[in-house]
């Protein structure tokens, strides 16, 4: 994993949080494979939101498994919510909810930044 992506994600999230007045609104997002229960991963993300005192506006998941993030319907819905300024960011359990590919992960960080949001992780990029 490229360390510059950790720095990029953290800086982007910090900018969003500094610019947000009042409550910080996040949507929880995890990625699971078919027949996998998202509850454990969503609980990890919820626990992080609670520790940060962020408001959780939505909890969702995609069942696509490790596909290109651009093809996931729930992630696309959250990006649209960020574009409408309904949320400040997306909170995932870990980086693998976005992608374990550095290129795909960086591309998604760029998309999240382009809509004015940040990506928070319950576990650092190196955790599952």
Q: What are 67-109's pLDDT values in tens digits?
A: 777 789 999 999 999 999 999 999 999 999 999 899 999 999 9
Mean pLDDT computed over 28-47:
94
Model confidence band, residue 2 (pLDDT cutoffs 50, 70, 90)? confident
pTM score? 0.92
CA distance 30 to 92: 6
Mean pLDDT computed over 14-40:
94
Whether residue 15 is contained in a domain is answered as yes
CA distance 79 to 61: 13
Whether residue 78 is contained in a domain is answered as yes
Model confidence band, residue 1 (pLDDT cutoffs 50, 70, 90)? low
CA distance 49 to 58: 12
Structural domain count of the chain:
1
Asked whether the beta carbons of 120 and 29 are under 8 A apart, the reply is no
Q: Provide DSSP, 4-50.
A: HHHHHHHHHHHHHHHH--SPPEEEEEEE--TT---HHHHHHHHHHHH
Whether residue 56 is contained in a domain is answered as yes
> Residue 74 maps to which CATH number?
3.40.50.1390
What is the pLDDT at residue 13? Answer: 96
Mean pLDDT computed over 37-51:
97
Which structural domain, as residue segments, surrounds residue 93? 3-121
CA distance 55 to 58: 9
What is the pLDDT at residue 21? Answer: 87
| Phi, psi of 37, rounded to the nearest 5 degrees | -90, 125
What is the pLDDT at residue 128? Answer: 45
């Amino acid at each position: 994993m490229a360390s510059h992506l950790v720095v990029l994600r953290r800086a982007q999230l910090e900018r969003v949080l500094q610019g947000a007045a009042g409550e910080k609104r996040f949507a929880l997002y995890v990625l699971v494979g078919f027949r996998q229960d998202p509850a454990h991963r969503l609980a990890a993300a919820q626990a992080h939101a609670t520790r940060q005192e962020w408001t959780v506006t939505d909890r969702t998941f995609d069942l696509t498994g490790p596909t290109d993030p651009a093809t996931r319907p729930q992630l696309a819905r959250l990006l649209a919510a960020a574009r409408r300024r309904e949320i400040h960011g997306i909170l995932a359990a870990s980086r693998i909810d976005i992608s374990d590919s550095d290129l795909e992960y960086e591309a998604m960080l760029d998309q999240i930044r382009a809509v004015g949001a940040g990506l928070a992780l319950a576990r650092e990029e190196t955790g599952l």
